Amino acid sequence: MSTRIDAELVRHIGKLSRIELTDEEVSAFARQLGDVLEAFGKLQELDTQNVEPMAHAVELANVLADDAPRPSLTTEEALANAPDRVENFFRVPKVIGGGA
Amino acid sequence: MTNTAQTDTIQPVVGLEIHVELATETKMFCRCRNHFGDPPNTNVCPVCLGMPGVLPVMNGRAVEFAMKVGLALNCTVPGYTKWDRKNYYYPDLPKNYQISQYDLPLAQNGFLEIPLSSGETKQIRVLRAHLEEDAGKNTHDIPGCTGVDLNRAGVPLLEIVSEPDMNSVEEVMGYAKSMHRLVRWLGVSEANMQMGHMRFEPNINLHITRGGVTYKTPIVEVKNLNSFRALENAVAFEIQRQYDEWQGNPEGFVLAKLGKQNRGYDDGTCKTVFQREKEEAHDYRYLPDPDLVPVTVSDEWRQRVAGEIGELPLARRARFMADYGLNFKDADALTQDAPTGDLLDQSVAAGAEAKRCVNLLLGRGAAVANERGCAIADIGVTVEQLAELAKMMSAGDVNATAADKIFEKLLAEGGQPRAIAEKQGLLTVKDLGQVEQWVDAAIAANPQAVEEIQSGGKKQKKAFGFLTGQVMQASKGAAPPAEVQKLLQQKLG
């Protein structure tokens, strides 16, 4: 694997994931993620010359459901695990601007 | 577009991404209802809430709807398509990734033919159409926080991406409206703009030629436009703004130096506004979704869906012009939606004259539809009623004025045209003795008009029209106008 996990990359991933990282966490995660990548790097050693690319681990296709409604949760159930709520909404800190 | 002062030639180049919410009963990966306007967080379950350990199952109808749009857009629908995760973090996206299609979309490389005001059409190429899930909705009108409603999370969304083939505001609007008509026509989306069923994201820049050199302005993507008006205003504003900015800095305000930018749209001012550069916006780290198996599309399946498409708007419009002798404007008005044209076709099949039906539908019919804000097909006239009324007109049983009254009455109260005509005394009186009595009475009551006609002066024509009107009025519109005029001429000539 050519990608090296350094502090800068960990901070970048942290930013994408909207989480704040301390310097200690950055160096710890850099080491851990590096180990993970290295383990996967082992797979690179396999000869896949004559192996077809695969999009899915299960030999299955077209698992499709009928377009027929089934009961949803109640609003109380839906909000039961939420850290915070306001009226019948999930409550989050004030958001400004657009999404994706 | 040419600016005379500078003799610059300006060619706008616009591509359009359109998001269409599909009108399935249920969401894309769970069986919660896909329904607009319900109380917050009532159509939610562990799958669309992004709870751990749940498995999404693809909605078969959403796949077919997407295939149908793809095929109607002349796209290739490949035999193999799969699902990918697009990772980003936002409160309306509970899983922290959106299930979408990255490298193997359901449909690609098609085109949509759009009408131009010149009467010609233009093909706008469609790069791809892929399925993805919609996000929830953030509510900002609660003080001090944001509220999240996840009813919309997981609703099937079709993203249709055009090539940058549009070169004017008119072409952009032609494409957007043709697409709106198409998805409604196919029955795959209500495409109700007020409910956010259709959203636009245009990519706009200008190719400006000055003194033999062509300059390209930075491409601007305007995010999340929710109405035709917003789309039209945003594109028109951007064309002017980019030209103005470029004039101030012809070497600096160019694509090569500034790249692509995002702008938002302000509904209040009708202007686009700069959005803070999202430095890592495009780092979505797509990966195949291991929770969903691929979809393979067999020839049989593709052919069955293609067979359900039927005649498309432009083909039907051309047929109406050729077969029914309609002009472009009338044919276009009758092909805004499928059911209105069906009504016409079926009435003709029931023996009615096309021209009579068209006059009824586009006269009183269009007026009532406009009043009620619905399609002409939804004003509540049946094929039987329309065909009977048209046939009565062709047979000379009712004149146009009477037919209009009958039509109005049956739209308001229902009933059969002939019964209404009889009850209201609107049938044309074919008893010439009766007509003659009305003519004689009008002559006796209006000696001045009679004198003007017989003296042959310049008031003759007007007086004749007046007397005809008197007879028609006396008959409550039931006298046949041609007979009335013939009798008047005989008696006064």
The residue type of B268 is G
CA distance B330 to B361: 10
Q: Which of A33-37, A60-64, B103-107, B456-460 has the lowest mean pLDDT?
A: B456-460
Tell me which chain B residues have a C-beta less than 8 angstroms from the C-beta of A61. 293-296
pLDDT tens-digit readout, B102-117: 999 999 999 999 988 8
Phi–psi pair at B231, nearest 5 degrees: -60, -50
CA distance B112 to B178: 8
Token pair of B214 as six digits: 């062509």
What is the band of A1 on the pLDDT scale with cuts at 50, 70, 90? very low
pLDDT score for A100? 45
Are the beta carbons of A72 and B33 separated by less than 8 Å?
yes
Instruction: Give me Rg for the CA atoms of chain A.
Output: 22
Nearest to A75 among B41, B61, B98 (CB): B41
- The angle formed by the CA atoms of residues B309, B314 and B319, to the nearest 5 degrees, is 95
Asked if B11 and B150 count as a contact pair (C-beta separation under 8 A), the reply is no
- Closest Cα of chain B to A81: distance in Å? 10
Q: How far is CA B144 from CA A93, A95, A96, B139, in A?
A: 8, 10, 12, 11
Which of the residues B146, B159, B274 would you substitute to probe the A interface, choosing the one with the greatest number of A C-beta atoms within 10 Å? B146
pLDDT score for A15? 87
Residues on A contacting B at a C-beta cutoff of 8 Å: 12, 15-18, 55-58, 60-70, 72-73, 75, 78-79, 81, 86-95, 97-100
Higher pLDDT, residue A72 or B260: A72
Asked if B343 and B383 count as a contact pair (C-beta separation under 8 A), the reply is yes
Tell me which chain B residues have a C-beta less than 8 angstroms from the C-beta of A73. 44-46, 49
Nearest to B293 among A56, A95, A97 (CB): A56
pLDDT tens-digit readout, B198-254: 999 999 999 999 999 999 999 999 998 999 999 999 999 999 999 999 999 999 999
Q: What is the mean pLDDT of residues B262-267?
A: 92
Asked if B254 and B196 count as a contact pair (C-beta separation under 8 A), the reply is no
What is the band of B63 on the pLDDT scale with cuts at 50, 70, 90? very high
Helix, strand, coil % in chain A, rounded to nearest 5: 40, 10, 55
User: At a CB cut-off of 8 Å and minimum separation 6, what does B148 contact?
Assistant: A89, A90, A91, A92, B91, B92, B136, B137, B138, B139
Q: Which CATH number fits the domain B432-492, given the four candidates 1.10.10.410, 3.90.1150.10, 1.10.357.10, 1.10.540.10?
A: 1.10.10.410
Are the beta carbons of B145 and A94 separated by less than 8 Å?
yes
56-85 in chain B: CB under 8 A from chain A: 57-63, 82
- Tell whether B44 is within 8 A of chain A (Cβ): yes
CA distance A74 to A78: 6
Residue corresponding to tokens 């681990």: A57
DSSP state letters, B312-331: -HHHHHHHHHHHH---HHHH
Where would I find the H helices in B350-459?
Answer: 354-360, 366-372, 383-394, 400-413, 417-424, 432-445, 447-455
Share above pLDDT 70 across residues of chain B, in percent, rounded to a whole number? 97
Which of the residues A18, A40, A63, A72 would you substitute to probe the B interface, choosing the one with the greatest number of B C-beta atoms within 10 Å? A72
What is the band of A75 on the pLDDT scale with cuts at 50, 70, 90? very high
CA distance B162 to B133: 20
B123: which strand partners?
B113
Which of the residues A40, A62, A96 would you substitute to probe the B interface, choosing the one with the greatest number of B C-beta atoms within 10 Å? A62
- Closest Cα of chain A to B29: distance in Å? 9
CA distance B399 to B396: 7
pTM of the model: 0.84
Residue B179's closest CA among B195, B197, B164?
A: B197
Tell whether the torsion through CA atoms of B356, B358, B363 and B364 is positive or negative: positive
Asked if B350 and B384 count as a contact pair (C-beta separation under 8 A), the reply is yes
User: At a CB cut-off of 8 Å and minimum separation 6, what does B171 contact?
Assistant: B14, B114, B116, B122, B124, B165
A57 to chain B: nearest residue by CA?
A: B290
What is the band of B353 on the pLDDT scale with cuts at 50, 70, 90? very high
pLDDT tens-digit readout, B119-158: 788 999 999 999 999 999 999 888 899 999 999 999 999 9
pLDDT score for B3? 55
- Closest Cα of chain A to B11: distance in Å? 29
What is the band of B393 on the pLDDT scale with cuts at 50, 70, 90? very high
Q: What is the mean pLDDT of residues B369-376?
A: 92
Q: Which of A84-98, B19-33, B82-96, B97-111 has the lowest mean pLDDT?
A: A84-98
Higher pLDDT, residue B348 or B275: B348
Share above pLDDT 90 across residues of chain B, in percent, rounded to a whole number? 75
Tell me which chain B residues have a C-beta less than 8 angstroms from the C-beta of A98. 223-224, 264, 275
Are the beta carbons of B88 and A16 separated by less than 8 Å?
yes
What is the 8-class DSSP label of residue B292? S
Sort residue B156 into left (φ over 0), alpha (ψ -120 to 50) or beta: beta
Nearest to A78 among B41, B61, B223 (CB): B41
Q: Is residue B290 over pLDDT 60?
A: yes
pLDDT score for B278? 53
Token pair of B120 as six digits: 């010609």
Asked if B62 and B188 count as a contact pair (C-beta separation under 8 A), the reply is no
Are the beta carbons of B145 and A65 separated by less than 8 Å?
no
Nearest to B41 among A55, A89, A98 (CB): A89
Are the beta carbons of A65 and B60 separated by less than 8 Å?
yes
Nearest to A64 among B24, B58, B88 (CB): B58
Residue B343's closest CA among B321, B325, B320?
A: B320
CA distance B213 to B33: 56
CA B87 to chain centre: 34
Token pair of B420 as six digits: 């209404």
Asked if B191 and B23 count as a contact pair (C-beta separation under 8 A), the reply is no
100-159 in chain B: CB under 8 A from chain A: 104, 135, 138-140, 142, 144-150
Token pair of B153 as six digits: 């999370």
- Closest Cα of chain A to B315: distance in Å? 31
Asked if B446 and B471 count as a contact pair (C-beta separation under 8 A), the reply is no
- Closest Cα of chain B to A64: distance in Å? 5
Q: What is the mean pLDDT of residues A59-80?
A: 96
- Tell whether B25 is within 8 A of chain A (Cβ): yes
Are the beta carbons of B145 and A92 separated by less than 8 Å?
yes
Q: Which of B21-25, B340-344, B416-420, B427-431 has the lowest mean pLDDT?
A: B427-431
- Closest Cα of chain B to A47: distance in Å? 22
Hey, where are the domains in chain B? Answer: 2-299, 311-424, 432-492
pLDDT score for B6? 62
Nearest to B33 among A66, A69, A91 (CB): A69
pLDDT tens-digit readout, B152-203: 999 999 999 999 999 999 999 999 999 999 999 999 999 999 999 999 999 9
Residue corresponding to tokens 């009850």: B423
Which of the residues A20, A52, A90 would you substitute to probe the B interface, choosing the one with the greatest number of B C-beta atoms within 10 Å? A90
Nearest to B31 among A63, A69, A78 (CB): A69
Asked if B139 and B149 count as a contact pair (C-beta separation under 8 A), the reply is yes
pLDDT score for B424? 84
pLDDT score for B363? 94
Q: Is residue B280 over pLDDT 60?
A: no
pLDDT score for B276? 63
Are the beta carbons of A73 and B45 separated by less than 8 Å?
yes
CA distance B108 to B129: 6
Q: How far is CA B161 from CA B131, B187, B228, in A?
A: 12, 20, 17
Tell me which chain A residues have a C-beta less than 8 angstroms from the C-beta of B42. 72, 75
The interface predicted TM-score of the complex, written ipTM, equals: 0.86
Instruction: Give me Rg for the CA atoms of chain B.
Output: 30
CA distance B471 to B465: 10
pLDDT score for B275? 81
DSSP state letters, A20-64: ---HHHHHHHHHHHHHHHHHHHGGGGS--TT----S-SSS----E
Phi–psi pair at B271, nearest 5 degrees: -115, 155
Nearest to A89 among B49, B139, B296 (CB): B139
Higher pLDDT, residue B335 or B460: B335
CA distance B334 to B337: 7
